[in-house]
């Protein structure tokens, strides 16, 4: 075993680890299952990369983000470390070669998505791979009580049967106490497992929230006052372009970014922003994962995020170099009111979900009792028009059906064209004699694509057409014709959204979902909505403390630099006022918990700032507590 400090110095050039990194690494090296909560930019990858390099064998890294996988593999390769990844769109041959390299080569890391773990090909090679560690990135996705639950993550635990003595390291930037416990349970952590949590404090980051009539003017004011690189997070793709155009009109160098742009265009815009050719990037939350840019001076949210988990992660991309930076959230009263209605929209009733499910089955013409494993082109817009279903209802019903492992919907999907022969060589020769018009194409396939007789080969009709000096459309028509004779299986390229059935179509009277779990997820969503709206409406408490308290981190000191801390310094409170407000709070909250909103609404004779100041003081003295629903309780 190599020294972890030598490895850190040799490959990363650092003399010392960041806080908790060494503790996490030593826990893993001791063979313990480990949960690590490190903030965005806290160096999570080093926590599994260093111990993997210190031991014999290869590290399995499970991640849902293809872009992040590719970035980390390229980063490791640039350091002279051999790494591999398997992601959607790869040919069968490429996947097989990658697994062979992982099993028999001198590679140290294999990155895969959770969906890949259950494929027969992966399981075939699993016994040949000398895994020294399983690292689960974005581990909050495994918890159905979390904000980004993904069903394929639940099945990661089945790996433990095949790898009984291999430790598991789960990593995430943000998880509440309930989600942390759920992660450990779902991954079957041993009794001696360890948990490490870095403080949620960001001493150099000034948080603020502004309820404004004109977000445009406020955004321009912020970017004119805070010089340097910035991110503006927007709720929709259209907003990203509108904001970038607004900034350019006001002589601020900006570009927009969202998942609808081509890969090349996204990469180009990202690189221009990283090297400061572009100052401001207006983007959806598709931007930012895995990007290591320390000099971001401001992160502005132009709309309210769904939850504090997302907000903390995205805002945390500012100021990683330790210099003063700003996280600003812009909102208005209408947005807050709309958020209160989100629960019923995002969690439609069981009858609505059933109606959407049956409509989808009818739209795709799937007979009852069949369809498992089949994929279909699926135009969500056309479907909702055809069946007169609200598009939001359909979207969230489909999300529920995904979480129940009934179907899978890939909005951004690309599947390359593939061909495999489905006949013997003798039968192929006979076919060519009977249909000589196909002979050139068949010989072209055999010459151009090795192994096309044994497994599906990824082909490009345009390359084949160029090789045979034919038109691409002619090649496609001939491939379709040969497929109809049963000589080949031809799957044309797909770049449209795909819906895959994970179960055969249920009969109408046997449709079932786990309603108890579904309602619990709805309740947790409502709790997260109350937390983010409470963060907006709180005009007194230190914002750093509010965020930290949400994640059960009670040791964070008031930052002194957020909008509330700055405003608090100007609030004067005499002894008589303090006693009157204290009495008022105790009278209302002594019998039953009371929401802060109700307390503020009914205490109109007191200024909100003074009410908050007393609440803050009493909470600090443990004379009252605020529960996870944002209600005040008297101990």
**Tens of pLDDT along 498-548?**
898 999 999 988 999 999 989 998 999 999 999 999 999 898 889 999 999
Q: Count of domains in the chain?
A: 5
User: What is the Cα–Cα distance from 118 to 319, expressed in whole angstroms?
Assistant: 40
**Tens of pLDDT along 415-440?**
668 888 888 888 888 899 889 999 99
Q: What is the CATH number of the domain that holds 628?
A: 1.10.10
Residues 381 and 255 in one domain: no
Q: Which long-range contacts (CB under 8 A, 24 or more apart) does 22-29 make?
A: 23/196, 24/169, 24/196, 25/50, 25/51, 25/54, 27/194, 27/196, 28/133, 28/167, 28/169, 29/1, 29/4, 29/54, 29/55
Show the beta-strand stretches assigned E in 432-584: 457-458, 488-491, 498-501
Residue 267 lies in a domain: yes
275: three-class secondary structure by DSSP: coil
Residues 246 and 294 in one domain: yes
Residue 563 lies in a domain: no
Residue 464 lies in a domain: yes
Task: Dihedral sign for Cα 327, 332, 333, 337, please.
Answer: negative
Residue 185 lies in a domain: yes
* pLDDT at 490 (0 to 100): 87
Residue 593 lies in a domain: yes
Q: What is the CATH number of the domain that holds 365?
A: 1.10.10.10
Residue 128 lies in a domain: yes
Residues 214 and 277 in one domain: yes
Q: Which residues contact 634 (CB under 8 A, 6 or more apart)?
A: 586, 589, 590, 623, 624
Residues 82 and 102 in one domain: yes
* pLDDT at 290 (0 to 100): 67
* pLDDT at 545 (0 to 100): 94
* pLDDT at 319 (0 to 100): 93
User: What is the Cα–Cα distance from 493 to 609, expressed in whole angstroms?
Assistant: 61
Q: Which helix (H) or strand (E) holds 15?
A: none
HEC assignment per residue over 331-396: ECHHHHHHHHCHHHHHCCCHHHHHHHHHHHHHHCCCCCCCCCCCEEECCHHHHHHHHCCCHHHHHH
Which of 296, 331, 366 lies at the terminal end of a domain, its last residue? 331
Residue 237 lies in a domain: yes
Residues 212 and 283 in one domain: yes
Q: What is the CATH number of the domain that holds 316?
A: 3.40.50.300
* pLDDT at 494 (0 to 100): 66
Residues 501 and 635 in one domain: no
Residues 240 and 187 in one domain: no
Which of 197, 227, 256 lies at the terminal end of a domain, its last residue? 197
Residues 441 and 313 in one domain: no
Residues 113 and 35 in one domain: yes
Q: Which tokens belong to 497?
A: 């959204």
* pLDDT at 362 (0 to 100): 96
* pLDDT at 1 (0 to 100): 53
Residues 114 and 163 in one domain: yes
Residues written for the chain: 635
Q: Residue 381: which domain range?
A: 342-414+496-518
- Ranges of the chain whose pLDDT falls below 70: 1-2, 88-89, 91, 290, 411-416, 494-496, 570, 628-629
Residues 255 and 169 in one domain: no
């Amino acid at each position: 075993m190599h020294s972890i400090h030598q490895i850190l110095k040799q490959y990363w050039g650092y003399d010392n680890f960041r806080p908790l990194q060494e503790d996490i690494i030593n826990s893993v090296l001791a063979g313990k299952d480990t949960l690590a909560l490190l903030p965005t930019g806290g160096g999570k990858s080093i926590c599994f990369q260093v111990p993997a390099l210190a031991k014999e064998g290869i590290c399995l890294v499970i991640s849902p983000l293809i872009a992040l996988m590719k970035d980390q593999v390229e980063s490791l390769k640039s350091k002279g470390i051999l790494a591999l990844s398997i992601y959607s769109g790869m040919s069968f041959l490429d996947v097989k070669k990658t697994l062979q390299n992982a099993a028999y080569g001198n590679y140290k890391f294999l990155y895969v998505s959770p969906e890949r773990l259950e494929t027969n090909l992966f399981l075939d090679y699993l016994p040949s791979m000398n895994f020294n560690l399983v690292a689960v990135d974005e581990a909050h996705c495994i918890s159905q009580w979390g904000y980004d639950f993904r069903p394929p993550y639940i099945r990661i635990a089945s790996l433990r049967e095949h790898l009984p003595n291999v430790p598991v390291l789960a990593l995430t930037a943000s998880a509440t106490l309930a989600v942390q416990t759920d992660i450990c349970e779902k991954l079957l952590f041993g009794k001696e497992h360890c948990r490490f949590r870095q403080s949620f404090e960001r001493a150099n980051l000034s948080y603020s929230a502004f309820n404004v009539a004109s977000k445009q003017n406020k955004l321009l004011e912020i970017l004119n006052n805070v010089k340097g690189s910035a991110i503006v997070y927007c709720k929709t793709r259209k907003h990203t372009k509108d904001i970038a155009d607004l900034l350019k009109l006001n002589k601020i160098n900006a570009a927009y970014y969202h998942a609808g742009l081509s890969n090349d265009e996204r990469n180009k815009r990202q690189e221009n922003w990283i090297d400061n050719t572009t100052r401001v990037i207006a983007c959806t939350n598709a931007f930012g994962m895995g990007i290591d840019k320390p000099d971001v001076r401001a992160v502005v949210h132009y709309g309210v995020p769904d939850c504090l988990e997302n907000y903390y992660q995205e805002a945390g991309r500012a100021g990683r170099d330790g210099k003063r930076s700003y996280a600003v959230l812009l909102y208005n009263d209408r947005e807050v009111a709309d958020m209160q209605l989100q629960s019923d929209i995002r969690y439609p009733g069981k009858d609505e979900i059933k109606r959407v499910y049956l409509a989808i089955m009818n739209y795709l013409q799937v007979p009852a009792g069949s369809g498992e494993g089949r994929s279909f082109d699926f135009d969500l817009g056309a479907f909702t028009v055809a069946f007169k279903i609200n598009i939001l209802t359909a979207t969230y019903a489909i999300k529920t059906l995904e979480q129940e492992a009934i179907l899978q919907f890939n909005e951004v999907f690309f599947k390359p064209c593939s061909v495999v022969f489905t006949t013997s060589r003798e039968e192929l020769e006979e076919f060519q004699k009977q249909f000589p018009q196909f002979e050139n194409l068949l010989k072209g396939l055999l010459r151009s694509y090795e192994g096309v007789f044994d497994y599906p080969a990824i082909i490009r009709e345009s390359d084949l057409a160029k090789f045979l000096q034919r038109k691409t459309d002619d090649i496609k028509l001939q491939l379709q014709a040969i497929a109809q004779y049963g000589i080949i299986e031809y799957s044309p390229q797909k770049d449209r959204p795909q819906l895959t059935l994970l179960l055969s179509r249920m009969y109408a009277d046997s449709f079932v979902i786990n309603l108890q779990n579904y309602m619990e997820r709805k309740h947790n969503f409502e709790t997260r909505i109350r937390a983010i709206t409470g963060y907006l409406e709180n005009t007194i408490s230190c914002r750093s403390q509010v965020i930290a308290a949400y994640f059960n981190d009670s040791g964070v000191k008031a930052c002194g630099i957020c909008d509330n801390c700055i405003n608090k310094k100007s609030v004067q409170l005499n002894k008589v006022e303090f006693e009157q407000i204290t009495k008022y709070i105790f009278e209302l909250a002594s019998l039953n918990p009371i929401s802060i909103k109700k307390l503020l609404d009914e205490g109109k004779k007191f200024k909100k700032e003074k009410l908050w100041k007393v609440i803050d003081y009493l909470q600090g003295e443990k004379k009252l507590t605020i529960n996870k629903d944002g209600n005040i309780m008297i101990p």
